[in-house]
Chains A and B, each alone.
Chain A
Amino acid sequence: MKDVETRPSRYEWVIILAILLASLPLILGFSLLVLSSFSKEMVTNLDLSSFRFTLENWINVFQGKLATTGGIRTNILKVTFNTLIVALGVAGVVTFISALAGYSLSRIDFRGRKHMMVLLLILHAFPGVALIVGVYLLYRLTFPQSPDIIRLYSFFYVILARAALEIPMSVWLMKGFFDTIPWEFEWSGIIDGASRIKVWWKIMLPLIKPGILAVALFAFLAGWQDIIYVRTFLIDQTLATFIEANIEAEYSHMPLIAAAGTLYLLPTIIFFLTAQQILLQGYSGGIKG
């Protein structure tokens, strides 16, 4: 007999079953994808008989081959690197801006603060696709003349545009994290002679580390996964556009695309498995005795 607090609910198994059933399509889809990437032929229709193990697809992917035959090659490492730049760029911009904006919305009573918060929510409700025409117009208007920098410019633009989509929600999240920190920490710093910006950097940011990590992770994944903005603005390919471009090509070998797809999914899976732990790590121990 367990203690009351730790005893599982009598209906626990019902809940677990429901969760399993709900996630079954996803789990099946992912498993088939991963299986296919190690197979000579695609594993479909839950028919495991078509599975014949091979590492060929993965070798081909890293050699940049798009098909088992023929000579078309793409430098997949470079595509992965591009994806990483976009994802890290979005994560950096979003984290920096929302950490500053979240702090001021949480702590400074400036004019129009409430309206700004409502506005942010409304902005968040706009889907990125709905904005793309306007964003594209701005892209064309600011497009540089010099051909040397257009690729750099397209990176710069896609990072800013994609980050802008993430910022409203991230600012709200960040404000929530700042709200949880008692005013005394800040007052203590101010009395000791720190400026507001120093308080933010030296006291507040370390206290909400888990929050920053969460925001950065979500922004990173948003950049990593994005296809519409990347395809519209970025001259180079990322993993998402690479897979999309080849999935319907006649020469493409589907199990190979499956391997690329698995590679594309990897960060998401890893982050969601590990991030729970990180997100739960609080500093609550030091706040009260």
Chain B
Amino acid sequence: MVKIILKEITKKFGDFTALDNINLEIDDREFMALLGPSGSGKSTLLYTIAGIYKPTSGRIYFDDRDVTEIPPKDRNVGLVFQNWALYPHMKVFDNIAFPLELRKVPKQEIEKKVREVAKMLHIENLLDRYPWQLSGGQQQRVAIARALVKEPDVLLLDEPLSNLDALLRIEVRAELKRLQKELGITAVYVTHDQAEALAMADRIAVIREGKILQVGTPDDVYYKPKYKFVGGFLGNPPMNFVEAEVENGYLRVYESRIPVPAQYKGLIEKLDIKEVLLGFRPHDAEVVKGISEGLVGEVYSFEPLGREQIVTVSVNSGAFVKVFAPEGEHFTFGEKVTVKIREDRIVLFDKKTEKALEFLGE
């Protein structure tokens, strides 16, 4: 139950900079997701919080306590690894009891606490089995139980769901979110799966190449991406981007023209910018048959998904956008259509820096 403050954390492995001047505050009882592609440094950041890696420079605070120099065991953190790292030669009970045994907790109390945490995670009946006798989902619960049994201040999770199959993952993520809130524990969750981050986290920190690109609530990072990368990384399918030129109050996209969205009118004038990237989410537009006001193109492909379908529209050779359309609608390949975008959901990025216009001044 602590607030974690990371101040100017830099971590280098030889010449390689894994973390580059990271500043982040994680509130008490908050569920923070570190989201990024593999190799982005998100796991390194987690291990730095745990104390396995020592930052090359910068400080880490748990509340007011500077823990930068404190070894992992004195930080009181629980860590769930991607491969769970259950000790194969120990039964489930001994696996969970291990942290307590190391703390020299009396035997009776160990017994009591292990049973308590096992009950909470619904694994009471597995205590005298070996890890290899369990299914993936059960092993994962044991790993979480082992991390929780010592009542840590911080729970750190390193892609704990990535070894589970898709259906189980969705089931466990709801459960994990509830567990975190019930225990009121500060949690940091590393994942490369944007759906997981959106579904579970209170806030998301998007990381790329050792830098935090954006920190915010799921809504924030989803609808107001600070960088093209963030918009393109979150959502399935991700945000659409097309190049546009500013032309007296209009955005020209290849053959089409759409008016500059109201929220950007002042900004564009102020910045005097000519070339932008126009971004919008697939569900913030609709496909209308025939040519009218909007992005004109032709149907390249369509994929019915049951409740809805994804229509891929080619707005120019090589430039595609994906838009959700209602189920019953019929399309044919090559059909002329117009994509009408919800104006208030349009995000404009600077073409050179790929940063959203409203953040350009930062």
Binding site for B on A (CB under 8 A): 182, 184-185, 187-194, 198, 203, 206-207, 209, 283, 285-289
Contacts and interface: CB of A to CB of B under 8 A. Distances in A.
Q: Which of B51, B82, B86, B140 has the most CB of A within 10 A?
A: B86
B85 A182 contact: yes
A187 B85 contact: yes
A283 B88 contact: yes
B132 interface: yes
Kindly list the 5 A-B residue pairs having the minimum CB-CB distance in the complex, ordered from nearest: A286-B88, A285-B132, A289-B136, A192-B99, A193-B73
Contacts of B71: 190
Given A286-B132, A288-B163, A289-B135, A191 B52 contact: yes
Q: Which of A184, A192, A194, A203 has the most CB of B within 10 A?
A: A192
Contacts of A283: 88-89, 132
B86 A286 contact: yes
B99 A193 contact: yes
Contact of A288 (B77, B83, B99): B83
Nearest to A206: B89
B244 to A, nearest CB: 47
Nearest to B98: A192
A133 B300 CA distance: 84
Contacts of A289: 84, 134-136, 139-140, 163-164
B6 interface: no
Secondary structure call for the A interface: helix
Q: Which of A184, A185, A285 has the most CB of B within 10 A?
A: A184
B307 interface: no
A185 to B, nearest CB: 5
20 contacts: A182-B83, A184-B85, A185-B85, A185-B87, A187-B47, A188-B146, A191-B50, A191-B51, A191-B52, A191-B72, A191-B73, A191-B77, A192-B146, A283-B89, A283-B132, A285-B88, A286-B86, A286-B87, A289-B134, A289-B164
Contacts of A189: 98
A190 B136 CA distance: 24
B252 interface: no
Contacts of A198: 102
B317 to A, nearest CB: 44
A202 to B, nearest CB: 8
A227 to B, nearest CB: 38
Nearest to B90: A206
B73 A192 contact: yes
Contacts of A286: 86-89, 130-132
A191 B77 CA distance: 7
B357 to A, nearest CB: 43
Given A192-B98, A207-B88, A286-B130, A184 B81 contact: yes
B83 A203 contact: no
Contacts of A191: 50-52, 72-73, 77-79
B246 to A, nearest CB: 51
A285 B136 CA distance: 11
B9 to A, nearest CB: 19
B352 interface: no
B112 interface: no
Nearest to B81: A184
B86 A190 contact: no
Contacts of A285: 88, 131-132
A192 B132 contact: no
A95 B307 CA distance: 64
Given A182-B83, A287-B83, A192 B150 contact: yes
Interface in B60-74: 71-73
A287 B136 CA distance: 11
B87 A203 contact: yes
A192 B81 CA distance: 13
Contact of A187 (B79, B84, B102, B163): B79
Contact of B102 (A194, A209, A287): A194
A184 B130 CA distance: 18
Given A192-B102, A286-B130, A206 B135 contact: no
B270 interface: no
B78 to A, nearest CB: 8
A288 B88 CA distance: 10
Given A187-B50, A187-B79, A286-B130, 18 more contacts: A185-B87, A187-B81, A187-B85, A189-B98, A190-B72, A191-B79, A192-B146, A193-B99, A203-B87, A206-B87, A207-B89, A285-B132, A286-B88, A286-B131, A288-B163, A289-B84, A289-B134, A289-B163
A218 B51 CA distance: 40
A30 B98 CA distance: 51
